[in-house]
Every structure is written in structure tokens, then in C-alpha cells.
Structure 1
């Protein structure tokens, strides 16, 4: 129950913090830096990256999903989930990473 309430508050924070579907105010350049630092050990985060885990999607493939939403992705990054390390991202950082991924569409 508490986790469900936490998700609702995170979602409300994201909706109020990001505004429209383009995650207003998000910095894709900063998101690219964060992705190279924190995500590239598992995901292919940019063209020319030589190594990543075989069983995880590239950022470009995530961006091309028909149901892709930068807001939903940022929310996903803020909520701990078992298959990924628990990085202590701020809402701004999660939005920046989501904006970077969206820029790969």
C-alpha cells in the first residue's frame, strides 16, 4: 500500500514538474552525460558504443517503442525496480535522461 501511494506521489510530481509531453525544461545533453556515466555499463546509450549487456535494450530501441513516453520513462527511472541498480536520481536527472532517450527517436 505504501509503495502504491509513493508511486502516485512520484507520478504527480513528474506531471507537475515536466508539464507537457516533451518533458519541458529537461536537458538532453545532461541526460547523455548521465547515461554515459551510469547506464553505459549495461545499455548501449550512444552510437559507436562498443560494449553493453546482451539482454538489455539499447536506448535507441527504447526511444523507438510505439508507446514511448518521456514522462513515463522518467517515472520508471525514479521508482526502484529489481533488474536495474538503484541509482539515486533526482526528478531533474530522471527527466534529463528521459529527454536524452527521446532525442534518439
Structure 2
């Protein structure tokens, strides 16, 4: 079994803790702000929203979908694969906030 040198191990642990801290600190309220600013032109992102495309799922539909768990949503938002979905270049923290909001919109 190979041993990882101490400095590499410390860096790896720091990165893991940082990523865990970001997801634990996800703020659905900030996620809603991001959704209203960047996503509401196409998606219905909140109850009472009057505009949105009927050709894309609502955030409530995405939030209750078994296809998109937190990890799946995070990966998708980091690098959208849909031709009509723009690459928003969101930070990991913004993605965590947006995912927290989407998951909170489950009916």
C-alpha cells in the first residue's frame, strides 16, 4: 500500500473539508436570488411566477425528480450539457445555494 506524503494528505483533507463546508453552508435564500436573476426567464422558479417557458421543467418538477439528486444537480449546473442551457459560470458556493433552493422547492 502506497503512503501519501504528509503535505499531499493535508492538502487533500483541506480540500475535502472545504467542499463539505460549502455544501453544509448552502443557503436556499441566496439560491432563490440566483434563480430569480438567472433562471426565471426560462424556468418557473417560485410559486406565483407568471412567466416561464412551458418547454422546460419548473424548479418544483426538478426538485422532486429522482433523476436529479444534489450531486447530479451540482454536476449539471457546473457544466450544463443541454444546448439551450447557458453556462452560467457559477461558483461552487452559488451552485450549492441554487441546489439547496431547488431541492427545497419540492411540493
TM range (shorter): 0.7 to 0.9
Alignment CA distance shift 1:24-1:42 (3 Å): same
Q: TM-score, normalised by structure 2?
A: 0.74
CA RMSD of aligned residues (A): 1.8
The alpha carbon displacement at 1:72 in A equals: 1.4
Q: TM-score, normalised by structure 1?
A: 0.76
In 1: Cα distance, 2:95 partner to 2:88 partner = 10
Structure 1 residue matching 2:99: 3-state secondary structure: helix
For structure 1, the 5+ residue unaligned runs are 1-15
Does the 8 Å CA contact 1:18/1:71 hold for their aligned counterparts? no
Alignment CA distance shift 1:18-1:44 (3 Å): farther
Structure-1 residue corresponding to 2:90: 89
For structure 2, the 5+ residue unaligned runs are 1-15
Which structure has the bigger radius of gyration?
Answer: 2
The alpha carbon displacement at 1:66 in A equals: 2.5
The alignment covers a number of residue pairs equal to 88
